[in-house]
Amino acid sequence: MKSKIPLMPENKKNQKKSHQASIIYLIIIAFILSGVYVLSNQTPATTVTEINYSTFLSQANGQQIDSLSFTDDRINITLKDGKEEYTVKDPRATPYDLLNDIPLENRQNLNIDIIDSSQSDFWLNLFMQILPFLLIVGFLIFLMRHAQNSNNQALSFGQSKARIYDNNANKKTTFQDVAGSKEAKEELVEIVDFLKNPAKYTAIGAKIPKGVLLIGHPGTGKTLLARAVAGEANVPFFSISGSEFVEMFVGVGASRVRDLFKKAKRNAPCIIFIDEIDAVGRHRGAGLGGGHDEREQTLNQILTEMDGFEVNDNVIIMAATNRPDVLDPALLRPGRFDRRITVDLPTLEERKEILNVHARNKPLVKNIDLRVIARHTPGFSGADLENIMNEAAILAAKKGEKKIDQLDIEKSVEKVMMGPERKSKILSEKEKKITAYHEVGHALVAHNIPECDPVQKISIISRGMALGVTWFLPEEDYMLYSKSKFEGEICSLLGGYVAEQIMFKETTTGPSNDLERATKIAKNMVTKFAMSDIGLTIFGGGQQEVFLGRDYASHTKDYSEKSAEQIDYQVNVILESAYNKTKTILIKNKKKLCEIAEYLLKKETITREEFLNFFKTKEAIVA
Ligand code: ADP
Ligand code: MG
Ligand code: ZN
């Protein structure tokens, strides 16, 4: 995966680094030396005792001294019995002055040594005097180099920072690494073939496409697919991210584009890959908030360069985006990015395959069922699934297991969906009880409405913001939602609220998120899907995402006050009727509600089987 190599030669970079390092070493050595100097100048820690001058004189007169040596500020004394002493002397007094204090007959046998301390310290002193200059010079050199580096950087600004993928690396990405996305791969195989045998296509007059645009949600594997094309085609592959075109200085982007295309032409046949092209390819003239001039220039340059390519240049430009709606139409017209490949969120089968790909280098226990995991994860992207397998491996490693088991993966799905369990969050008995009834309320209502997904698990261990969680497990991925499915969903969302109301006579802040979601579904039913009595009109233009600029105007309300009132009324009708239905279900099942909630309070987590058991026993008794 990490097979990118920078275009700048490694050794040049290293050289630069080692220069800087040696200067830093020089400075450190200088500091150490000066430290040594300071230490060496301190009084030696000793067995040599200090005596005062009169003691010295009396020792001299008693002829106890064997030898003397004079330094600047001391007299070092060696006694005849081998003991060593010193006494402090006035630096201005010469040895001759001092010796005069001792009568001649007492100093005749003394060995006298005069040490010129200025001599011995000559080199050190010299060094200490030069040191500050050395430091300053070193610092200056350091600064100059630094400045030079940034100069170089400024000069190379206009060059593209495109990276070439190393096709020789043994870990190159191929289509094998991309699970699912069958249609996308089929289209891309064609591109690979264009690059490998261009003659085959040009011979019968087929034009080789210039631009391929990969469109899809984040994490669906667009970048991965582009890398796989590079790996399969075995041609040079220049990869750059849209945001890299845009820098501090105006004009840099355009010049980078020029440079990139020039490089590519020299290396043809090859692929240019522009990741996250929406960073530069936005609708021109939509620049609210400034800075759009630079982007426009960059985009214009890309368009010009793409037109400048000849059919037989054999350079294919790939780009990826998750916001095709904001791209400038000029990018999308024929002759530019006219091949558009949509990379969808993976289906159930594809999720299983992706899980398989990411389980390849992980030890799993034998009987693991990745299909169940795939069923748990509708709407997950390839990147999410990769994350799940990784989290599972971490969980298993934490527990000290050698292999990953089903439970590890299921736990990691829950963690990725809801955040980690927060066992430290202590709820009071009352709060726990309310949470238990609330969650069982969701589950019971869903169980009693055929359109609702089956209950998978109920838990009152808090996670992230939620105090409790009820999981549902859809049988398969839905492409279409019916009105009754929406209504069922609203009912099960209201289940928590109604359960609290029935059991405790008042409600808490707990259901606020549930109510918000229920309201949103109801609103969408009215304004987007014409599922209410209000008629066929769609309100709000179906616009969801705000792109500052282009859609600015269309985001103001496009319906009258009267319609707004009607919408509010219809939303309320939907919620009201769902509320009544929910209440009926829960009152009818109040006994079950209590039974299951009390069980949940004891166990904290109930599995699907345990939940279903509550209904089996009854049926068994009836039968
Ligand atoms: P995008 O560029 O579409 O946002 P990436 O290509 O960067 O997504 O995908 C992120 C990661 O998710 C990849 O590195 C890969 O490990 C994983 N992934 C995504 N889709 C797939 C897939 N179809 N098969 C295998 N792995 C995938
Ligand atoms: Mg990407
Ligand atoms: Zn709830």
Tell whether ligand 1 has an atom less than 6 A from the beta carbon of residue 224: yes
Residue 207 placed within a domain: yes
Tell whether ligand 1 has an atom less than 6 A from the beta carbon of residue 345: no
pLDDT, mean of residues 61-72: 82
Task: Please check the confidence at residue 463 and state whether its pLDDT lies above 60.
Answer: yes
Task: Please check the confidence at residue 159 and state whether its pLDDT lies above 70.
Answer: no
Residue 307 corresponds to which tokens in the numbers above? Answer: 């037109």
Question: pLDDT higher for 244 or 446?
Answer: 446
pLDDT band at 393 (very low <50, low <70, confident <90, very high): very high
CA 462 to ligand 3 centroid distance, Å: 12
pLDDT digits (tens, 9 = 90+) for 91-137: 777 777 777 778 777 777 777 777 765 555 677 888 888 888 889 99
Task: Please check the confidence at residue 415 and state whether its pLDDT lies above 90.
Answer: no
pLDDT of residue 551: 45
Task: Please check the confidence at residue 594 and state whether its pLDDT lies above 90.
Answer: yes
Residue 424 placed within a domain: no
Ligand 1 atom with the smallest distance to the CA of 357 is 25
pLDDT of residue 31: 75
pLDDT digits (tens, 9 = 90+) for 20-66: 667 677 777 877 776 776 666 655 555 788 888 888 888 888 888 88
Q: Are residues 339 and 401 in the same domain?
A: no
What ligand has the least distance to the C-alpha of 383? 1
Strands (E), 47-187: 49-50, 65-70, 74-79, 84-88, 111-114, 163-165
Tell whether ligand 1 has an atom less than 6 A from the beta carbon of residue 221: yes
Q: Are residues 280 and 334 in the same domain?
A: yes
Which of 215, 220, 240, 361 best tests ligand 1's pocket when mutated (most atoms within 8 Å of CB)?
220
Could you tell me the CATH number of the domain that includes residue 372? 1.10.8.60
Task: Output the residue whose Cα is nearest ligand 1's atom 11.
Answer: 383
Q: Are residues 283 and 186 in the same domain?
A: yes
Our count of domains for the chain comes to 5
Residue 227 placed within a domain: yes
pLDDT of residue 548: 41
Residue 621 placed within a domain: no
The question of whether 439 is a catalytic residue gets the answer yes
79-89 exposure pattern, b = at least 16 Cβ within 10 A, e = fewer:
eeeeeebbbeb
Task: Please check the confidence at residue 162 and state whether its pLDDT lies above 60.
Answer: yes
| Amino acid occupying residue 135 | L
pLDDT of residue 237: 83
Nearest alpha carbon to residue 232 among 179, 276, 191, 187 = 191
Tell whether ligand 1 has an atom less than 6 A from the beta carbon of residue 355: no
Q: Which helix or strand (DSSP H or E) is residue 140 part of?
A: helix 122-155
pLDDT band at 544 (very low <50, low <70, confident <90, very high): very low
pLDDT, mean of residues 572-598: 95
pLDDT of residue 336: 84
* Residue where a domain stops, chosen among 155, 174, 206: 155
Q: Are residues 410 and 276 in the same domain?
A: no
Tell whether ligand 1 has an atom less than 6 A from the beta carbon of residue 216: yes
pLDDT digits (tens, 9 = 90+) for 426-456: 778 898 999 999 999 999 999 999 999 999 8
pLDDT band at 355 (very low <50, low <70, confident <90, very high): very high
pLDDT band at 535 (very low <50, low <70, confident <90, very high): confident
| Amino acid occupying residue 407 | L
Q: Are residues 244 and 258 in the same domain?
A: yes
pLDDT of residue 439: 95
Q: Are residues 395 and 479 in the same domain?
A: no
**What DSSP assignment string belongs to 30-48?**
HHHHHHHHHHHTSPPP-SP
pLDDT of residue 249: 61
Structure letter (DSSP) for residue 556: S
CA 344 to ligand 1 centroid distance, Å: 12
pLDDT of residue 351: 92
Q: Are residues 276 and 369 in the same domain?
A: no
pLDDT of residue 296: 77
Task: Please check the confidence at residue 264 and state whether its pLDDT lies above 90.
Answer: no
Could you tell me the CATH number of the domain that includes residue 88? 3.30.720.210
pLDDT digits (tens, 9 = 90+) for 517-534: 999 999 999 988 999 988
d(CA 301, CA 462): 53
Q: Are residues 586 and 538 in the same domain?
A: yes
Q: What SS3 state is found at 87?
A: strand
Tell whether ligand 1 has an atom less than 6 A from the beta carbon of residue 386: yes
Could you tell me the CATH number of the domain that includes residue 445? 1.20.58.760
pLDDT, mean of residues 141-169: 64
pLDDT of residue 333: 81
Q: Is 150 exposed, middle or buried (0-12, 13-18, 19+ CB in 10 A)?
A: exposed
Q: Are residues 441 and 557 in the same domain?
A: yes
Strands 211-216 and 237-241: unpaired
165 has which bridge partners?
4
Give me the catalytic one of 294, 391, 410, 439. 439
Task: Output the residue whose Cα is nearest ligand 1's atom 1.
Answer: 219
Which of 175, 386, 389 best tests ligand 1's pocket when mutated (most atoms within 8 Å of CB)?
386
- Determine what percent of the chain is predicted with pLDDT higher than 70: 82
In the chain, what are the helix, strand and coil shares in percent, each to the nearest 5? 55, 10, 35
Q: Is 390 exposed, middle or buried (0-12, 13-18, 19+ CB in 10 A)?
A: middle
pLDDT band at 479 (very low <50, low <70, confident <90, very high): confident
What ligand has the least distance to the C-alpha of 322? 1
Tell whether ligand 1 has an atom less than 6 A from the beta carbon of residue 269: no
Residue 386 placed within a domain: yes
What ligand has the least distance to the C-alpha of 443? 3
Strands 111-114 and 84-88: unpaired
* Residue where a domain stops, chosen among 343, 359, 387: 343
Which residue do the tokens 């904290």 mark? Answer: 604
- Among the ranges given (301-315, 369-383, 435-449), the one the predictor scored with the smallest mean pLDDT: 301-315
Q: What domain range is 517 assigned to?
A: 429-613
pLDDT of residue 312: 61
pLDDT, mean of residues 373-399: 90
- Determine what percent of the chain is predicted with pLDDT higher than 90: 24
CA 147 to ligand 3 centroid distance, Å: 60
pLDDT, mean of residues 464-482: 82
Mean pLDDT of the chain: 81
Q: Are residues 438 and 534 in the same domain?
A: yes
How far does CA 122 lie from the centroid of its chain? 59
The answer to whether 268 touches 188, Cβ cutoff 8 Å, is no
Residue 357 placed within a domain: yes
* Residue where a domain stops, chosen among 291, 326, 343: 343
Task: Please check the confidence at residue 374 and state whether its pLDDT lies above 80.
Answer: yes
Helix boundaries (H) for 320-405: 329-332, 348-359, 370-376, 382-398
pLDDT of residue 128: 84
Most confident by average pLDDT, 343-352, 421-430, 513-522:
513-522
What ligand has the least distance to the C-alpha of 382? 1
pLDDT digits (tens, 9 = 90+) for 484-522: 999 999 999 999 999 999 999 999 998 999 999 999 999
Q: Are residues 310 and 370 in the same domain?
A: no
Tell whether ligand 1 has an atom less than 6 A from the beta carbon of residue 360: no
pLDDT band at 254 (very low <50, low <70, confident <90, very high): confident
Residue 91 placed within a domain: yes
Which residue do the tokens 């191929």 mark? Answer: 174
Nearest alpha carbon to residue 444 among 334, 597, 277, 568 = 597
Residue 571 placed within a domain: yes
Angle at which helix 590-603 crosses helix 483-504, to 10 degrees, equals 80
Name residues with Cβ closer than 5 Å to ligand 2, which is an ion: 223
The answer to whether 343 touches 181, Cβ cutoff 8 Å, is yes
CB neighbour list of residue 31: distance below 8 Å, 6 or more residues apart: none
pLDDT of residue 516: 94
Q: Are residues 409 and 449 in the same domain?
A: no
Strands (E), 256-322: 270-275, 315-321
Ligand 1 atom with the smallest distance to the CA of 350 is 23
